[in-house]
Amino acid sequence: MSTFVLIPGACHGGWWFEPVAQRLRELGHIAYAVTLTGLGDRAHLLNASVNLDTHIRDVLALLENERLDEVILVGHSYAGMVVTGVADRMGERVDALMYVDAFVPGNGDAAWNLTNDEQRAWYIDGASDDGIGIAPLPFFDPRATPHPLASVVQRLRLIGPERTFRRKDYVYAAQFDNSPFTSTYQRLQGDSDWNVHEMAARHNVLADGPEQFLELLLSTVPDAFD
C-alpha cells in the first residue's frame, strides 16, 4: 500500500484528480486529491495574497495534519511548482515524485519564466478583469475557477537540503500543441535520475488516457512489478 497526494494544475480543484484517486483507493492505496487555496470549492478564498507559498503550505499542512509519510507526490502542470516546494520543505516525508506534463523548477524559477509566450499571454489577459485571478480558458471543465495570478509570478525559494528520492518520474503529453513542457521533457530524457514517459494525449491526460495514466501511477509503487 502506498500513499498518493495528487495536486491539480491551474484553475482545477481536487475534483480533477478524484476519479483516479478513487481507483487507487479501490486497489488498496491511500489517495488524497488536493484542492489548493482559491480554487474549486475553496474559490471563495481567492484574494491577491494567495501565491505559490500559500499552495505549498496547503500541501505541507495536509502531510502534517494527516501524519503522512513515504508519500508519492503527483503534480499536474502548474502543480509541478508546488511538488518541488513541498519536496524541498518536507522531503523527509516524501518517497517519490511524479510530474505530469508539469513545470520542474529550480531555485528562483516561477511558472511565468518557465512557460512560453502563449501561456504568459493567457496569464495576463485572463487576469485583466481584476488583476487577481486568471480566468479559465473556454474549453476547460465548467468546474474550473480563476487561478491566483500571484502563484504563477512568484519565484520558488528552495530552502531545504538537497535530497535524493526513491524515484522521480516525468509524464509528457505529446499531443499538447505548442506545449510549454517540451524543453523540460527533452532535458529530462537525458538525465539518468529520471524515469521519463510519453503519452499520446493532450494536456488533459485524465481525459485522453486514464488507464495508461493509472498504470504509470502504479508503476511508482515500491516493488510494483515484483
| Closest residue by Cα to residue 90 from 115, 114, 57, 119 | 57
Quick check: 71 and 3 in contact, CB under 8 A? yes
- The DSSP bridge partners found for residue 148 are 133
Cell for 95?
Answer: 518517497
192 is catalytic: no
Residue matched to cell numbers 487555496: 37
DSSP letters spanning 6-56: EE--TT--GGGTHHHHHHHHHTT-EEEE---TTSGGGGGG--TT--HHHHH
How many angstroms separate the Cα of 75 from the Cα of each of 49, 102, 225?
A: 22, 7, 23
> At 72, which helix (H) or strand (E)?
strand 71-76
Q: Which of 77, 151, 179, 183 is catalytic?
A: 77
What are the residue numbers of the active site? Answer: 77
